Structure 1
Amino acid sequence: AHYSISSIFEEFPEDIKIYCYSEKSKVYNKIEAGKLRLATGMSDITSDITWDKKAVVFAVLHLGDHNINAGVKNFTTDEDFLSMQEEMKDPFDKGDIPGVIRLMDKHFDGKIYSLRHLFKDERKKIMDQILQLTYEDIETSYRQIYENNYSILNHFHSLDLRLPRPFATSVEYVLNTDLKKVFESDELDMDKLNRLIDDVKKWSVRIDTATVGTAVSSLIDSLMEGLNDQTKDLRPLDIVCEVLAILKPLSLTPDLWKAQNIFFSVGKKMYRDMKAKAAEGDLPAGQDARTLLRLGLCLSVMVE
């Protein structure tokens, strides 16, 4: 049921792993009509623990939003599977959704699954996908409130008055969203980040530590993953210290566990090597040693 329902919302390769199972798609067909989607398919499922293997067929009807019906059963014959496909396609094409549901009950003996039957993290993932358009509408609404009323908001600030709750909510949502986008962008815009931080301080915005903190941690981890014995240019690592310094007044503490481990396993040795070269008069090595020393301090990892 996990694969069949998830396949409605995202494309999967032919071979995938779902928890302790491996699934190989043999046949997959999806048809759409507006918000309605009907997917049918056939897969081989193998337990990675017991190596038990079985072939299954499935059908998923998505009525839009969170309304999903899915059926899964053991494979019998190709003829039975093709017959099921054709039987369901005809009423679906005609917009006879009750007819499709009746056929699903018939072919799967009433054993119908929904989002409720998925693992919790998979339910959360799919619900986020379903709500993505709603999130975008919410962001647009809050951004309009924020931008269209910026002058009056500034006047409240100049009078040292607390923003009315609806406006405070819009400011908080927009700034947290923009911070997340900045940290998730392919290239970090430090000027924009500084402007956002200034606005956060100005409006006394509460940072969404879970969302923004995760984005910051991912950025720092990706920068640190570029650190190895062959790294020639250490300047990108200066961004790590810049970001942590900017965020310090906001009491936002990202998860640095992975970055610290990378530095501990690679950076400390590089620092010793660079320091030794610098002692022999290698000026660029001296600069790199200072960069690594500063990075270690930023990550709270002892270098010497």
Structure 2
Amino acid sequence: MHRFGRRPEGMWLPETAVDLETLDILAGHDISFTILAPHQAGRVRRIGEEKWHDVDGARIDPGKPYLCRLPSGRSINLFFYDGPVSRDVAFAGLLKRGEDFARRLLESGSDGREPQLAHIATDGETYGHHHRFGDMALAYGLNHIEEEDSARLTIYAEYLEKHPPGHEVEIIENTSWSCAHGVERWRDDCGCRIDWQSDWDQAWRGPLREALDWLRDELIVLYEQQAKPLLGEPWQARNAYLEVILDRSEEKKRAFLAEHAGRELDAAERLKALRLLEMQRQAMLMYTSCGWFFDELSGIETVQVLAYAGRALQLAQEVAGSQLEQSFLDRLEKAPSNIAGWGNGAGIYRGLIEPLRLDLLRVAAHHAIACEFEGDHEVDRVYCYTAEKRDYDHLGAGMANLGLGRTRIRSTITGNEAEFTFGVLNLGGHSVSAGVREYENVEAFEAMRREIRGAFEKADIAEVVRLMDKHFGSHSYTLWHLFRDEQRKVVNQIMDQALQEIEASFVQIYDRHYSLMRFLHQINMPVPRSLAAPVEEVLNAQLRRALEAETPELERIRAIAADLEQLPVALD
């Protein structure tokens, strides 16, 4: 509904993992069809006939839709994609040429005269990420088919409308497209993995699943207890929370809470309700299937799953004071890592998840430091937070800079907010330190600003540092505490300045010693590397700028190229 403005007719099941209950839920929500792998079909028969035909082992005809009757009396239509062609697209280089891709699709059907569907299913990242220019091969192949008029391009819903099922099918339950053992890949060390030659095992999968199942159940109890006084039907509200995820405007949140609370909530109750709903969202996200797919517990996909769990635990503690984390860690200790340095899931959680945990103070520190490098904006967006800067002073003296002010940080997800005071001392380069604390009152703020500013204006940097320790205590931060994207941006900015200074010194060497270097080269004497390296850097930089100019300067490019030919330097 959100993307296309209409109800969906079909739905993709993650990993094509399927059982009859799942299909019945889809049918109950008016989903007309889904797509499965060919090996997930058990037997088929023509509608109206009694005799079944075994198609186990991926022997089903993928060129037609099938009706699947469900125990509830409902039914759903199923398509089974072409397995061999899909595998060749994903793993055998079929996307190297668009013509080959188109030809395989056209050849995949049978010789019968009845209408048939040629279709495949692959990961979206196949087209470009896994196979460079795969998206171009896909586009070319489809365009080739259309221009040759050798087949008609269609979509599943259109094909189903014009060619309803003539056969019915029984599925093999608890199966998926990427596990030879059904769905064991997501709960056990079944043997499915990426690197078959590695001696790593996946004994961590079961304990990870058990830990998350335990946490999910604990959060269900907590949610029902805490949400009942705030949301008349907590689970209906949880399901409808998607409306807020798609539109996090204040107007939408107010309308959502008004509809589901059944009464006027005060500010604290609104904050609690949104935290509870977000806690449930994180509890759902922690079952993202790729968390179990790969070989090692400390891989980025599994770490992301643990990050979702960590956020759910943080919200549970904030709304109800729940102390679930240690019990969760006790369970993660049973999940062994293949990397000795991590030990187990608890070690990975402590090493990779706990440092990621954010609160408003950490966001305020990020904003305070970023202000020193990003210019003067009254209101900034920091991911899912807004930062409103107030009473900001910036002072400079030589390479040293000082920023003092207040900032109000607000979560756009839960509405949690607080005000902070901050001071940032920048001594040049990456030597940046910041102090941040919650705002107390105007008197304390003005005293802090007056004292630190006074010391800075006297150029007493040691006193500035002492006063920052006095006013901010242990709440000190550096560039290390910036969020990763902003950290890279700031470090690149610092690096650019440093490189400009280095290049300027190289230009001086180039200007002063260019003739000597040419003379040494002409008489076949070796040019010292300490002389050649700066000249090489200068000429490459000049050539790069000349080529990147909006209007390339051909004469300048020729002159630089001539220098490169006459000197013992390499073109970068």
TM-score by length of 1: 0.58
Q: 1:88 aligns with which of 452, 460, 468?
A: 452
Counterpart-to-counterpart distance in 2, 1:188 and 1:54? 52
Counterpart-to-counterpart distance in 1, 2:465 and 2:439? 20
Percent of aligned positions that are identical: 36
C-alpha contact (below 8 Å) 2:436/2:472 kept by paired residues: yes
Q: What amino acid is the match of 2:367? A: Y
Q: What amino acid is the match of 1:29? A: D
Query: Given the alignment of the two structures, is residue 144 of structure 1 paired with residue 508 of structure 2, yes or no?
Result: yes
Trace 1:49-198 onto structure 2 (pairs within 5 A).
49-130=413-494, 134-159=498-523, 163-198=527-562
The equivalent residue for 1:13 is: 377
Of the structure 1 ranges 5-14 and 154-163, higher mean CA displacement relative to structure 2 is found in: 154-163
Runs of 4+ in 1 over 6 A off after TM superposition: none
**Which string of whole-angstrom CA distances, capped at 9 and with x for unpartnered residues, describes residues 130-159 of structure 1?**
455543442233223323333333334445
The equivalent residue for 2:276 is: none
Structure number with greater CO (CA < 8 Å, separation at least 6) is 1
Counterpart-to-counterpart distance in 2, 1:186 and 1:82? 50
Q: What amino acid is the match of 2:389? A: S
Deviation at 1:112, TM superposition (A): 0.8
Counterpart-to-counterpart distance in 2, 1:83 and 1:171? 54
Deviation at 1:56, TM superposition (A): 2.0
Q: 1:64 to 1:151 in 2, by over 3 A?
A: closer
How large is the Cα RMSD of the aligned pairs?
A: 2.9
Q: 1:164 to 1:100 in 2, by over 3 A?
A: closer
Counterpart-to-counterpart distance in 1, 2:465 and 2:429? 17
Deviation at 1:3, TM superposition (A): 2.4
Q: What amino acid is the match of 2:451? A: E
Three-state SS of the structure 1 residue aligned to 2:552 is coil
The equivalent residue for 1:42 is: 406
**Which string of whole-angstrom CA distances, capped at 9 and with x for unpartnered residues, describes residues 222-274 of structure 1?**
xxxxxxxxxxxxxxxxxxxxxxxxxxxxxxxxxxxxxxxxxxxxxxxxxxxxx
Q: 1:2 to 1:196 in 2, by over 3 A?
A: farther
C-alpha contact (below 8 Å) 2:408/2:418 kept by paired residues: yes
Counterpart-to-counterpart distance in 1, 2:550 and 2:420? 41
Counterpart-to-counterpart distance in 1, 2:550 and 2:418? 43
Counterpart-to-counterpart distance in 2, 1:18 and 1:175? 40
Q: 1:154 to 1:31 in 2, by over 3 A?
A: closer
Query: Given the alignment of the two structures, is residue 23 of structure 1 paired with residue 23 of structure 2, yes or no?
Result: no
Deviation at 1:89, TM superposition (A): 1.8
Three-state SS of the structure 2 residue aligned to 1:149 is helix
Three-state SS of the structure 2 residue aligned to 1:76 is coil
Counterpart-to-counterpart distance in 2, 1:53 and 1:189? 54
Q: List alignment gaps of at least 5 residues for structure 2.
A: 1-364
Trace 1:195-210 onto structure 2 (pairs within 5 A).
195-203=559-567, 205-208=569-572
Counterpart-to-counterpart distance in 2, 1:112 and 1:138? 31
Q: 1:47 to 1:175 in 2, by over 3 A?
A: farther
**Which string of whole-angstrom CA distances, capped at 9 and with x for unpartnered residues, describes residues 58-93 of structure 1?**
111223343222011222323332222112222222
Q: What amino acid is the match of 1:152? A: L
Counterpart-to-counterpart distance in 2, 1:144 and 1:93? 35
C-alpha contact (below 8 Å) 2:518/2:566 kept by paired residues: no
Deviation at 1:107, TM superposition (A): 2.0
Q: 1:14 to 1:185 in 2, by over 3 A?
A: farther
Q: 1:119 to 1:184 in 2, by over 3 A?
A: farther
Deviation at 1:160, TM superposition (A): 5.6
Q: What amino acid is the match of 2:422? A: F
Counterpart-to-counterpart distance in 2, 1:55 and 1:180? 47
Deviation at 1:172, TM superposition (A): 1.4
Q: 1:154 to 1:101 in 2, by over 3 A?
A: closer
C-alpha contact (below 8 Å) 1:24/1:44 kept by paired residues: yes
C-alpha contact (below 8 Å) 2:395/2:403 kept by paired residues: yes
The structure with the largest alpha-carbon Rg is 2
Of the structure 1 ranges 70-79 and 199-208, higher mean CA displacement relative to structure 2 is found in: 199-208
Counterpart-to-counterpart distance in 1, 2:435 and 2:469? 8
Q: 1:78 to 1:207 in 2, by over 3 A?
A: farther
Deviation at 1:205, TM superposition (A): 4.0
C-alpha contact (below 8 Å) 1:104/1:110 kept by paired residues: no
Counterpart-to-counterpart distance in 2, 1:129 and 1:38? 18
C-alpha contact (below 8 Å) 1:31/1:38 kept by paired residues: yes
Q: What amino acid is the match of 1:151? A: S
Q: List alignment gaps of at least 5 residues for structure 1.
A: 209-304
Q: 1:206 to 1:3 in 2, by over 3 A?
A: farther
C-alpha contact (below 8 Å) 1:46/1:52 kept by paired residues: yes
C-alpha contact (below 8 Å) 2:424/2:434 kept by paired residues: yes
Between Structure 1 and Structure 2, the one with more helix by share is 1
C-alpha contact (below 8 Å) 2:532/2:568 kept by paired residues: no
Deviation at 1:121, TM superposition (A): 4.7
Three-state SS of the structure 2 residue aligned to 1:196 is helix
Aligned length: 208
**Which string of whole-angstrom CA distances, capped at 9 and with x for unpartnered residues, describes residues 11-62 of structure 1?**
1322222334332222211122333322111122233444433322211122
Q: 1:140 to 1:98 in 2, by over 3 A?
A: closer
